């Protein structure tokens, strides 16, 4: 069995096959549904996860920087760390 993906700027993060990211009407928030668990990402994580649509991490960071008028260098580390945490949990693949 392979270990978790290593997230880099060239990675193209995507949800693992058994994981669903969707808006839950009952909870009125975005959720990550994974085997035997439900994760409720905060608003910042949701903005990052919405961009896991085939884009690589560098493009995700650039889009976030444009959208929120922030320097890409300031947010890059946080984005990679969050995506790596989810990859370590088996939620994302790169």
Q: Each residue of 16-71: pLDDT tens digit?
A: 999 999 999 999 999 999 999 999 999 999 999 999 999 999 999 999 999 999 99
CB-hemisphere CA count at 13 Å for 17? 0
Whole-prediction pTM: 0.91
CATH of 32-93, one of 3.30.360.10, 2.40.50.100, 3.20.20.450, 1.10.10.1150: 1.10.10.1150
CB atoms within 10 A of CB 82: 18
Q: Are 86 and 14 in contact (CB under 8 A)?
A: no
| Residue 1 confidence (pLDDT) above 60 | no
Cα–Cα distance list, 85 to 55, 81, 89, 92 (Å): 18, 6, 6, 9
Cα–Cα distance list, 17 to 58, 66, 73 (Å): 23, 30, 31
Question: What is the model's pLDDT at position 3?
Answer: 67
The domain ranges of the chain are 32-93
Strands 37-39 and 14-15: unpaired
* Tokens found for residue 10: 């060239």
């Amino acid at each position: 069995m392979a270990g978790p993906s290593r997230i880099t700027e060239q990675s193209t993060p995507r949800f693992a096959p058994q994981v669903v990211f969707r808006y839950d009407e009952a909870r009125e928030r975005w959720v990550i549904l994974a085997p035997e668990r439900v994760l409720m990402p905060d608003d910042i994580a949701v903005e990052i996860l919405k961009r896991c649509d085939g884009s690589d991490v560098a493009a995700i960071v650039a889009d976030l920087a444009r959208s929120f008028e922030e320097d890409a260098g300031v947010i890059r580390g946080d984005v990679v760390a969050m995506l790596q945490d989810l990859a370590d949990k088996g939620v994302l693949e790169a």
